[in-house]
Structure 1
């Protein structure tokens, strides 16, 4: 249901819903190509590096570690398809990569969007239980259960985004171009409005409410502790950093997209709109979709600043690489010295 609303956003606003208004194609092509290029570079580097650290330290796994690993995989799958979007908008809305890649690249963006929301909710619940109910946490939160939760999140996100697999490339007779990410206009608006509210509640509002309740409980517990107790708990500082990063991600990436989508649907039902309002609404679609895709760039901050032992694992990896490098250098030096000794004897 979320993808259908996203499809409506793209088709109605990017193509333009009035022949009397000037096109925003130049604005759209420039903003999308620039934003997706930047997100690709930052997302590949940040999440790829984080995934390497998480995989190498998997023996030190924990429920929080399992969620971070799945979130990094989701982000990488998403950013790996963004170069196709960059090429599409650099070519000024001409798709040259086939129907299958069109479907997959549309699909992965929204799978990642809702995977990220629910993985962050799961991580927030895990941190909440660790701080507010530390005794019960040992029994309730296990790696096996966290893996089952991850499977459920993947299934939910993949199934709810499946309509993207049903709609691929199509030929636009008005522009004589093969289109992707911009399905043909049409569809019962009232039904889409109802589906939007349903997906807004299930895909965004409900997990966001859970996150806010968890953070309220965490902050209350931390404030009620004595100063000495707070100094002894490294979990407290990780929790505060996680609260800041997750809330920033929601307010910058997820909330603008969902609010704009709802406003846009209501806007389409109006008959008293003028050209400037339509152009402003179309441009807001472009900006908020870029912000939604940028959530992949925030997640590496979550791993580094609030992940359990992430920085210590990174430090141990660096030390192991340094040690192996020194050992290799020592072996090379011994080999050179042995060769020199043989030369002296031969001489």
Structure 2
């Protein structure tokens, strides 16, 4: 349910509300630019570390790798949105890229939620059922879960491929990322309720149940077991980061989207209500896209040995440079050969 703003919304009293296009263009272009830079750097670094240290793989590592790929695919499409809003809401990149850009944002949004749920279940089993965890949680099963998540989310998000660019005769511009007309709101209300339950409420409940079990298990540990704080510390960090991501990125967007779609079906709205609703759409959609910037915190603070992986990768690069420098010092510079032209007799 792509939401931007309705610039030509006519109120029930036939008066035209002021446009928020300047606010929308500035906020979206600035936010998406910042998210692109931070997302590319954070997830690119994480993906490089995870790939380079793949020999230290674990089920949690598999989920982190897939989450980083999902984030990178999303932030790579954000520059197209930046161009759109820098050009004051005019699309020049073609219908295919319009559809893919909308699709990629929502695939990342829901893949992130499900990968976080899978990581939470993995940590829950490791702490609450450590013996069964050795048998149940394996790398191959984690890969199968990731494939299932990708297939499920990509197929269920396919409705976002249905709406592409369109020409707006009022502004004489080709548009993308614009909201539906009022005649399509009822259909979107139904789709929104399904996606709200399936893609947000259900995985969030799974995460909350896992975290309640983790906290209970940590509090009931004996004093000797509490000294082995490594697993418990990583679990607490994961709980804090995931819950903050949900509270900052996912929850405001899904709550506001539901309110907005119900708002569009009303006929008794005032101008001030419409403008406030449009601005809240802009803010919450930016927060939803920003989840790509929060995920690297999950890798760094909660990932199994991620900081050790980063340190070992840095040391290996440094040692290679030192070996190369020593070899050059021993062999010395290679003398250049003087090739003299052969004179004809």
TM range (shorter): over 0.9
Change (3 A) 1:16 1:243: farther
Q: Distance in 2 between matches of 1:159 and 1:76?
A: 19
Whose helix fraction is larger, Structure 1's or Structure 2's? 1
Q: Distance in 1 between matches of 2:133 and 2:160?
A: 38
3-state SS, counterpart of residue 269 of structure 2: coil
Which residue is equivalent to 1:41? 37
- In structure 1, stretches of 5+ residues that fail to align are 1-5, 340-347
How many residues end up aligned between the 2 structures? 331
**Aligned with 2:276 (options 268, 276, 280):** 280
Please tell me whether residue 255 in structure 1 is matched to residue 255 in structure 2.
no
Query: What is the TM-score when the length of structure 1 is the normalising length?
Result: 0.92
Q: Distance in 1 between matches of 2:109 and 2:333?
A: 58
How far residue 15 of structure 1 moved from its aligned partner, in angstroms, is 3.3
Please tell me whether residue 118 in structure 1 is matched to residue 114 in structure 2.
yes
**Aligned with 2:99 (options 81, 86, 103):** 103
3-state SS, counterpart of residue 171 of structure 1: strand
1:50-75: per-residue Cα shift (whole Å, max 9, x none)?
00000001111111000000000000
Query: What is the TM-score when the length of structure 2 is the normalising length?
Result: 0.93
Aligned-residue RMSD, C-alpha: 1.5
1:130-154: per-residue Cα shift (whole Å, max 9, x none)?
0000000011111111111111111
Which residue is equivalent to 1:194? 190
Which residue is equivalent to 2:338? none
Which residue is equivalent to 1:345? none
Contact 2:63 2:119 (C-alpha < 8 Å) held by counterparts: yes
Which residue is equivalent to 1:146? 142
Contact 2:39 2:293 (C-alpha < 8 Å) held by counterparts: yes
Change (3 A) 1:313 1:108: same
Change (3 A) 1:330 1:95: same
Please tell me whether residue 76 in structure 1 is matched to residue 69 in structure 2.
no
Which residue is equivalent to 2:81? 85
**Aligned with 1:130 (options 126, 132, 135):** 126
**Aligned with 2:90 (options 94, 97, 111):** 94
- In structure 2, stretches of 5+ residues that fail to align are 336-345
Contact 2:39 2:75 (C-alpha < 8 Å) held by counterparts: yes
Which residue is equivalent to 1:64? 60
